[in-house]
Chain A
C-alpha cells in the first residue's frame, strides 16, 4: 500500500510531468489560456494516457518481450497511441458531440503529446506490475491536469496585467512556469 502512495505523491508533485520532466509542454503553453479549455484538455489527455499506459504495458509484456523484439518498442507504442486517439475521437464524436466540439483540434493533437508516449516508456523502464502501471499513469495524468489548470488560472489574470511589450504571450508564460516549477521543487524533500 505504501509503495502505491509513494508512486502517487512522486508522480503528482515531485516529478510533475510538466514542471519537472518537461513532457507535454506544447499543450501546456497552447491550451492554458482559458480555464474551461484546460480542464477539457486535461480530461482528454488523462483518458488517453491511462488507456495507452495499459495497452502499451500489455503489448510489451505479452508480445514484444516474449518475441524478443523490444527494439520495436517506439514504433509499436506510437502506433497504439495514434490509433487509440483516433478511436477516442470517433467514440466521443458519436456519443457526445458537444464535448467533441469543445475539444476541437486538441483531440487529434494528443497523438503528438510527448506526455503520453513518455509515460508509456517510463512505465516499461521502471518494470512496473500492472497495478503500479495503472496508478503511475493515473497520477501522472492528475499531475498534468493539475499543472494545466493552475497555469490557466494564472494566465487568465495575466490578461489584465501590465507586462512589458516584448514579454507578452509565451515569454511571460515561460517565466510563470519557472516560478511554478520552483515552488514544485519544494516538494522534493517530501519522500
Chain B
C-alpha cells in the first residue's frame, strides 16, 4: 500500500531530527455525501482528504503536529513544528510508544462494491429516505439528513517497529425530522445507521422508524410528577446510562481522579443484571478495527460484568502510568494525539421484551431520547424527556411534553429492575431498553 511506504519514509525524516522516538500516522479518505434539506435532496458533495500526524519524542517530552497533506514539503514542515514543541514540553515518563504486536485479520472491513458505489446510486438511496417518510405519512417533514459513502486508508509507522495499514469502507446515514399537523409540531427525532457492506444498507427501516416516532408524538402534553420507574430506550439508555459508565472505565479518568470508579476495580458498581462488553474485532461491524490509533489490536473487555467493574480501557500512555501495556483502545485520527476509546459495545439483553416491561409498569415513563446534562464524574443528571410516553397500569397512555427527569446515574444502576431482551443498533452500540427505579419525574 502506497500510504504505508510514505509513512515509513516520513518516519525516517522525523528520526533524522535527533528525536529519541517518533510515530507517523497517515490517512487518506474519499467521501461522497448526499445531503438532504427541507424534504428534498439538496446537494451532492465529494471530498478527498489526506492527513499526516507526527508524534515527536525527545526523551519523555512529546510534541504533536498534523497537516492535511501527504506531500513531503508539508510533512517536513509539520515535523519541524512537532520537534519544536517537544523541545520545550516538560517530560512525562508515561509518554511512550507501544511495542508492536501481531495484528490479527479482521473480516469484513472493506467492501469493494460499496467502495465503488456511484454518485447516481448514492443519490438514489438519499431519495429513498425521503420517499419512505412521505409514503408513511404526509405529516412527516424531514429537516435534514445525509447519506455518505467513505473509503479510507490508514497507515502507522513508529520507531518501536510498528508498521500497520488498513483499508476500510463505510456507509453512514442520518435523518432528522418532525411531524407537523396544522399548528401542532412534534418534537424532532433522529435516526441513523451505518454499515461496511453495500448489501446491508437499509435506509427504509430507519426512515419508517423515524416517521413512526414523530407522528406518534404529535399532540404530546405534560404528564405527572412523581418519583419512580423510568424506562430508557435505545438513544436515551446510551446517552444517560452507558456513556458515563464507559467514561468512568477509561484509565485516564481513573488515574486523574475524575472517575467514580477509582479504587473499585473488582468491586460491585451496578446491579448484577448489568453486563457491558467491548469487542473491537467483531467481523464487519462499523466500530471494529484491526489496530487502534497506536497500531495495537483491540482486546475483548468487560468494563462491567454482572455488576462488577472488571476491565479498564487503556492506551499506551495510561497503561504506562499503571505499569501495564495497552489493550488496544487508543482512539483518534491522523489529526489528533491518541485518546482512549471504545469499539463495538454490547449491553447484555435481559429476558423480558420491552412490551412485557411496559406491561409490568404501573406508573412510569418511557424515554426515547434524553436532552439534558449528565455529569460523568458525579453521575448527577437533569434534563428533558424527548419522544417520551406516560405509562399507566401497563399501557402507554400519552406522548409527553414538558417533562424532565433527574437523579444520579451511579445510584440508579444499583437499582435496575428490568433489561429488555430486544436490542437496538446505534452504529457502535447494541443496546436493550433498561428500567430504572427511583428517578424524579417533573411535569409542568
Q: Do A and B come from one complex?
A: no
